[in-house]
Amino acid sequence: MKILSIETSCDETSAAVIEGSRGYVRILSSIVSSQIDIHKKYGGVVPEVAARNHILNIIPVVDEALRESEYSPGQNGRQVLPHRIKGRKREVGEALMEAERDKKSPLVPLYKRGKSLLDLIAVTGGPGLMSSLLIGAETAETLAYAWKKPLMAVNHIEGHIYANWLEPISKFKVSAKGGFASGEQSSKACLARPPYRREFAKGFKIKFPILALVVSGGHTQLVLMRDHLKYKTIGQTRDDAAGEAFDKVAKILGLGYPGGPVISKMAALNPPACAGRSPFMKGGKEIGLPRPMIESSDFDFSFSGLKTAVLYLARDMEKIVAEARFREEIVPAICKEFQQAVIDVLVKKTIKAAKKYKVRSVLLAGGVAANRELRLQMGEAVKTELEDKAVFNVPDLKLCTDNAAMIGAAAYYRYKEKPQTAKMPPVGIKVEANWLI
């Protein structure tokens, strides 16, 4: 079956076409229009700005995802459809169906592609920013009504976990495209495009029970899976998520937004011989940061105190070190120590839970899973601590951050196990900003 999936939970507008068969999934197309450059000047995502740009980008992104999934000759040029469609869901749906009769309508290509190509439409129903979620949900409901296709809402966290079932985009032909209208500047779209008639990766199989560490800007939790769709959250953050802590620490150090990539880059500048510790002395001791809750008996996390420790450390060091040296030497050292503190806690809690529940697979998911040090150290820990009792898997870097391909993968397995969760229009879907997995 072929699934059109839509993701608009935060500031990425994404659409993908996924094909599922005999328990395996592959990506036919994946388009992501990012708003990072727009939100940088605000130091974080502004919900109203994000929603406004989703409205501008959603139809062109969906159209491109459908076009790229077809590989039709003579369609190399990009046709950006009018994307400011006004009116209610039923009125837009009728406009799309009218396109079948009006051969001059700019909606004709979109209508024909979706009607003939797809078996199911899936969309992120939460958690996320309510204003952003509604844009994706209304678009999905409109298309389902026009094409008479079943519609399914997918949990965003579930999507991150199921990104592990997708083939790496790094194996595909990847190109970058821009041009979608998005406020003051163009959005950037990343196209994942596999070779024509690519075979499914039938040799790949994740074994249950599974322990998934989902770590992103809004979530940090350990999820136990006994089978597909059977989730139990055994640990989660009590305050800041790990990704949120990265953003806040980057702001404290004056490094900008988003914090994850820039802190990782700065941490790499610190001499490897320091092993995560700064070579600079304060009161006769090495600069160090706490590992919050690392020895607690549960599997919960807390990163708010770590963020505060960085604030006090940076403030104290600025008083005793020249500004140039602080920027060139101290900041990279603090970044490396902070990053290592987060990784130490995440790895130890994950391995501890994996041993207790005797899992056969350990999965890493979410935006922070793109951190190379976390990927490396978690993989090494699984190998040495769990030996041959469990395998480790992490999605391709491009599949860690928000994307619609992961929503499509989750939708395939959800439809396979519980087809009744897909509804035929005009039945809509419920959007929940705090939807728990």
Q: Which residues are annotated as a binding site for Fe cation?
A: 156, 160, 402
Separation of alpha carbons 157 and 90, rounded Å: 30
Residue 388, amino acid:
D
* Mutual angle of helices 259-267 and 331-357, in 10-degree steps: 110
Cβ contact 48:129 at 8 Å: no
User: Alpha helices of 289-402 — where are they, by DSSP H?
Assistant: 304-320, 323-325, 331-357, 372-385, 397-400
> Which residue ranges are tagged as binding site for substrate?
214-218, 247, 260, 371
Over its C-alpha atoms, the chain yields an Rg (Å, rounded) of 23
Nearest residue to 376 (alpha-carbon basis) of 402, 343, 398, 403: 343
Helix (H, G, I), strand (E, B) or coil at 152: strand
Strands 361-365 and 285-286: unpaired
> Which residue ranges are tagged as binding site?
156, 160, 214-218, 247, 260, 371, 402
Residue 63 token pair: 């159209």
Residue 107 token pair: 């909606």
Phi, psi of 192 (to 5 degrees): -100, 120
Strands 2-7 and 12-21: antiparallel
Nearest residue to 338 (alpha-carbon basis) of 298, 376, 377, 287: 287
Per residue, the 3-state secondary structure of 39-66, as one string, reads HHHHCCCCHHHHHHHHHHHHHHHHHHHH
Residue 250, amino acid:
A
